[in-house]
Amino acid sequence: MNYEFFIAKRIIGSKAYKSSISAPIIKIGIAAIAIGIVVMMVAIATGIGLQQKIRDKVVAFNGHVVITNYDSNNSLESIFPISKEQEFYPEFKTVEGVKHIQAVASKFGVIRTTTDFEGAYLKGVGADYDWDFFKEFLIAGRLPDYTNKRNEDVLVSEYLANRLGFKVHDTFQMVFAKDDPEKLPNIITYNIVGIYNSGFQDFDASYVIGDIRHLQRINRWENNQVGSFEVFIEDYDDLETKGKEIYQNTPSTLNTQTIEDKYYSIFEWIKIFDKNIYGIIGIMILIAGINMITALLVLILERTQMIGILKALGSNNWSIRKLFLYNASYLILLGLFWGNVLGLGILFVQKYLKLFQLDPSVYYVTEAPVYISFWYILCLNIGTLVLCVLMLLLPSYIVTKISPVKAIRFT
């Protein structure tokens, strides 16, 4: 029989315990644990969710690794063509973990209407293009089909559509300058078959998705020449390793670059979220622990006579400390329970109802994304319980300082 646990249960279940002087302090301690777990869950869920959402959007427009020619061109425009006759295309068999590779090209042009004009890049894609990401982004119309003959169907962003007054089935002209300024530019009339919104305004403001064969014709490239290759891998956590392997398995005339290198500032910014999450977790556990220490000390002082009687009956100091640690652990578990109920409720409401909106020009997303995983919730609860109990070991030492004789006479 674990008599310490038995006595702790009796204390917790007694009516006097619930109406004692320490009751308000105990409730504050439970509330601190609950609020702390809610804040930590929201911080982790939104921090990881925001990282993944931003990362996925950058991947959607660039792939995980980009293969290009060596050149000093810092713009998004494809200048020097690459032959599609490569060992790694159309399947990158020499590197395990490569899911897909696609050939693309881009060229700057000016969208012209009867009243307005706007500069943008036409990103040319072909039959090998993976539309999985854009299925999620599509808000109107359909995705274009470039598997058959060359066509003028394009996908424009909601950002450009709003600026230029476009809607699905509208047409517009896009003007592409030639290398020789004395020659007339190329003008192509495009049909809008779909409108997308990635929430990543930097990309939405820059790209129109069209048929790569138009760019091959304008640039006077061969049918087997493209601007670059976009490589998608199966596991993002292997990006650095796979990036090196892809570099080692491409010709020396070609350069490879991971998206973390290409968009260094964006990925350094989202890495800061990890530090924020760790800081919030540390602060919340510290606050919860301090509140529980206060509650434990009050419980000990309130039960001074009981401690004296137990010592007089032969209980050692560690047994009595265990009794109060069991009591405090129950309060922590109670706080964790209500914290999980409230925290998960908030996360699921945001996940499905999207109540909290964000400025896409700052955060690259239109609403606060949440990432819900059983494992991080379990680890968070276990970690909070263990750390709080460990923090209570030191203040429970006050039990050893209580004299049985004085405690029994204590009023």
The predicted-structure confidence for 259-316, as pLDDT tens digits, reads as follows: 999 889 889 988 888 888 889 888 988 888 888 888 888 777 777 777 777 777 777 7
Confidence (pLDDT) at 299: 78
Q: How confident is the model at residue 1 (pLDDT cuts 50, 70, 90)?
A: low
What is the average per-residue pLDDT within 70-93?
Answer: 83
Q: How confident is the model at residue 17 (pLDDT cuts 50, 70, 90)?
A: low
Residue 186: strand pairing partners: 176
What is the average per-residue pLDDT within 144-167?
Answer: 92
Q: How confident is the model at residue 19 (pLDDT cuts 50, 70, 90)?
A: low
Task: Write the pLDDT tens digit of every residue in 199-237.
Answer: 888 889 889 999 999 999 999 999 899 999 999 999 999
CB 95 within 8 A of CB 245: yes
Q: Identity (one letter) of the amino acid at 321?
A: R
How far is it, in rounded angstroms, from Cα 61 to Cα 202? 11
Computed over every residue of the chain, the mean pLDDT equals 86
Omega before 90 within 30 of 0, i.e. cis = yes
C-alpha distances out from residue 201 to 138, 208, 226, 370, Å: 15, 13, 26, 20
Q: Judging by DSSP bridges, how do beta strands 82-83 and 228-233 pair with one another?
A: unpaired
How far is it, in rounded angstroms, from Cα 32 to Cα 292? 8
Confidence (pLDDT) at 409: 64
Whether 410 shows a pLDDT value over 70: the answer reads no
Q: Count of residues for the chain?
A: 411
Neighbours of 373 (CB within 10 A): 11
How far is it, in rounded angstroms, from Cα 172 to Cα 189? 6
Q: How confident is the model at residue 406 (pLDDT cuts 50, 70, 90)?
A: low
* Domain definitions of the chain by residue range: 3-56+270-408, 71-252
Confidence (pLDDT) at 133: 84
Whether 12 shows a pLDDT value over 70: the answer reads no
- Identify the helix (H) or strand (E) that includes residue 317: helix 317-353
More confident position, 261 or 364: 261
Whether 72 shows a pLDDT value over 60: the answer reads no
More confident position, 385 or 362: 385
Confidence (pLDDT) at 397: 77
Neighbours of 386 (CB within 10 A): 11
What is the average per-residue pLDDT within 114-123?
Answer: 90
Q: What is the 3-state secondary structure (H, E, C) of 43-102?
A: HHHHHHHHHHHHHHHHHHHHCCEEEEECCCCCCCCCCCCEECCCCCCCCCCCCCCEEEEE
How far is it, in rounded angstroms, from Cα 230 to Cα 213? 17
Task: Write the pLDDT tens digit of every residue in 163-203.
Answer: 999 999 999 999 998 877 777 888 999 999 999 998 888 88
Confidence (pLDDT) at 349: 92
> Which of these ranges, 180-194, 317-331, 337-351, 372-386, has the smallest mean pLDDT?
317-331
- Identify the helix (H) or strand (E) that includes residue 209: strand 207-211
